[in-house]
Structure 1
Amino acid sequence: MKRSFWLLLLALSFALLAPGLAQPFPRTLTDDLGRSITLKAAPQRIVALLPSVTETVCALNACGRLVGVDDYSDFPEQVKRLPKVGGLYNPNLEAILALKPDLVIVSVYGKLHEGLERAGVASFAVKPETYDDIFRTTRLLGRVLGLEAQAERLVAQIQREVYAVESRAAKAAQRPTVYYEIDPTPYTVGPESFIGVLITKARGQNIVPRELGLFPQISPELVVQKNPAVIVLTHPGAADLPKRPGWAGVAAIRNQRICTFTGQQDNLLSRPGPRVAQGLQLLVGCFHPELRR
């Protein structure tokens, strides 16, 4: 009797610690648009419309289920051979439908889900923007795919990799002030965005005020006022920075502390997915050259 009681208690504890892991198909999940999506079975023909989603699906060992991806998905290597169906704001609905997907994973931005709904194709919307969203979205995709255990292993792996890099960064003596520019408009990153958290983990101090939001467009005068010690660019415009009014006197420009990450390096930084620790490593090397391997 006592043994049966402890076995029951153990089973209940597991259920509490891992909600949804034992939920069979069909299952109903809530996506990041707040919609209740019922999946009759684990999807086998998937179109992914975000590079970070493509990478996460593949990291869950489900790359073989992808039948199409957005124009920017290029990792891992095997997805380069998949049909491309447009970008975030210019998806090709006709091309997507031609692939006969049983699920399309979309961004919350844009209205692709409406066209898919009219065509009778299921969609699931995600919004990975904060650091915690990386793990939340990984677990959510694990439930969508019926790969909950794999998702938990992936979350643990990413967290281990980030911790290892963060531990190295902790050896740095200084915490330089940092301005991170996505494009020359200029758009930047707030402290609570996933990139903003990476800046903190790399022992940098983001000059952008928290109240401006996750990915704000700012006034160029703010950068002059804050006078950052380091500038990070994810576009090839470093030569133009001193030409901006007042910027020639910014410490990062005077001291040539500008790090430019484009192409695959930009992908590591700009995608909230399984390779986030590699993006963090880039920032650590930028902020603290003495820690570069």
Structure 2
Amino acid sequence: MKKYLKFSLPRFQEPAPSSFQTRPKRNGNTCLFACVFLILLVSVETAFADKAPQRIISMAPSITESLFALGAGERVVGRTDFCKWPKEACQLPNVGGMLNPSTETWLTLKPDLIIFLKSSDRLVSKAKSLGLNTLTVDMNRINSIFKSWKLMGDTLGIQDSAANLEHSILKEIEFIKSKTRGLPKIETLLLLGDSSDPGRDLFAVGRSTFLGELIELAGGKNILEDPDANYPRISKEFILARSPEVIIEAGPKSNLTGDEYKRRMKEWEPFSSIKAVQSKRIHFIGEDYAVIPGPRLHLILKQFAQALHPDIFAGSSSTTKK
């Protein structure tokens, strides 16, 4: 569906009447000029809309989800193995993995644009060598996500949709901030993946990531202080030394049954000097959106806020299994 920009006709003002002049008669040429001007603008906008990409391949879940949230889902003709939402995306042709896609499928789908994450330099170069148009977006920080939506909106001719999406997410963020404003910051450790063996090294989330920023917005204080460490590997000695008040594990493998939750909590018991273990404030967030920097990031924020401030966000769905 083509989207046309709104515009206004220029106003043709008449001289203000006074005692020294009479009101001039309307000139039919003015109306004629306005009509011609309108037709020309509509023609320009139509041509612009026709040139906007109509066959897009998305090379990351965050990009796919963003395109559908922007109302451009009908233009997506291909997605990766990892793109699971929305359900309409799962029906689209699969181009393979994010790191090892099928370039033959790229060509078969005849895209007029492939959108990559900024860390995909090798694949971008490959696509360009095949004569394919590319767009690169950065989804690592909250502000960069908003900028990427604006870039996609500008590229696809759907600027209003991009602005509206950003506004709706900012509204959700402000609601959480208003609830946690003035509360003490809770020392938090955010882990990625499976912590079924807390004795081995684990991957954590640093402050300079969208997940790290969400922890701060939810009222937490990330115990990882190095701003250059985005997803560092940390040891059990580090966790014992810092003793966070809350531990959150996020990712698909954290979607636990009641029995799995009990077993996972028991595996933390040998580390009883950690504050989060003592108070049993270890949370598992396993929803499919838990680590995707897309239009559902406000849902991640709500999960974090509930884990950190359960009294304030009472009534929300629990992030622990019992």
Same fold, TM exceeding 0.5? Answer: yes
Question: Is 1:60 equivalent to 2:70 in the alignment?
Answer: yes
The match for 1:270 among 270, 291, 309 is 291
What is the CA-CA distance between 1:52 and the residue it aligns to? 1.2
TM-score by length of 2: 0.72
The match for 1:168 among 161, 179, 195 is 179
Question: Is 1:249 equivalent to 2:259 in the alignment?
Answer: no
8 Å contact 2:188–2:248 — kept in the other structure?
yes
In the alignment, the residues of structure 1 paired with residue 212 and residue 66 of structure 2 have an alpha-carbon distance, to the nearest angstrom, of: 21
Superposition pairs for residues 32-181 of structure 1, below 5 Å? 41-110=51-120, 111-170=122-181, 173-181=183-191
Question: Is 1:203 equivalent to 2:227 in the alignment?
Answer: no
Per the alignment, do residues 26 and 212 of structure 1 end up closer, same or farther by CA in structure 2, a change over 3 Å counting?
Answer: farther
8 Å contact 1:231–1:258 — kept in the other structure?
yes
In the alignment, the residues of structure 1 paired with residue 176 and residue 97 of structure 2 have an alpha-carbon distance, to the nearest angstrom, of: 32
Root mean square deviation of aligned Cα: 2.9
In the alignment, the residues of structure 2 paired with residue 115 and residue 95 of structure 1 have an alpha-carbon distance, to the nearest angstrom, of: 13
SS at match of 1:115: helix
Per the alignment, do residues 25 and 72 of structure 1 end up closer, same or farther by CA in structure 2, a change over 3 Å counting?
Answer: farther
The match for 1:213 among 218, 224, 229 is 229
What is the CA-CA distance between 1:165 and the residue it aligns to? 2.3
What is the CA-CA distance between 1:140 and the residue it aligns to? 1.0
Which whole-Å deviations, capped at 9, do the CAs of 1:248-285 have from their partners, x for residues lacking one? 42111222111111142xx1x31222111111000111
> Aligned partner of 1:144: which letter?
T
User: After TM superposition, what 4+ stretches of structure 1 lie above 3 angstroms from structure 2?
Assistant: 23-27, 235-248
In the alignment, the residues of structure 2 paired with residue 190 and residue 107 of structure 1 have an alpha-carbon distance, to the nearest angstrom, of: 19
TM-score by length of 1: 0.79
Q: Which of structures 1 and 2 has the bigger CA Rg?
A: 2
Per the alignment, do residues 223 and 99 of structure 1 end up closer, same or farther by CA in structure 2, a change over 3 Å counting?
Answer: same
Give the length in aligned residue pairs.
259
Which whole-Å deviations, capped at 9, do the CAs of 1:37-95 have from their partners, x for residues lacking one? xxx92110001011111111111111000001111212222112111222222222222
The match for 2:307 among 244, 268, 286 is 286
What is the CA-CA distance between 1:225 and the residue it aligns to? 1.1
Higher mean C-alpha displacement, 247-256 vs 54-63? 247-256
8 Å contact 1:93–1:112 — kept in the other structure?
no
Per the alignment, do residues 41 and 217 of structure 1 end up closer, same or farther by CA in structure 2, a change over 3 Å counting?
Answer: farther
Per the alignment, do residues 222 and 286 of structure 1 end up closer, same or farther by CA in structure 2, a change over 3 Å counting?
Answer: same
Unaligned runs of 5+ in 1: 5-22, 28-39
In the alignment, the residues of structure 1 paired with residue 184 and residue 282 of structure 2 have an alpha-carbon distance, to the nearest angstrom, of: 17
8 Å contact 1:242–1:253 — kept in the other structure?
no
In the alignment, the residues of structure 1 paired with residue 308 and residue 136 of structure 2 have an alpha-carbon distance, to the nearest angstrom, of: 35
What is the CA-CA distance between 1:219 and the residue it aligns to? 3.4
Per the alignment, do residues 126 and 25 of structure 1 end up closer, same or farther by CA in structure 2, a change over 3 Å counting?
Answer: farther
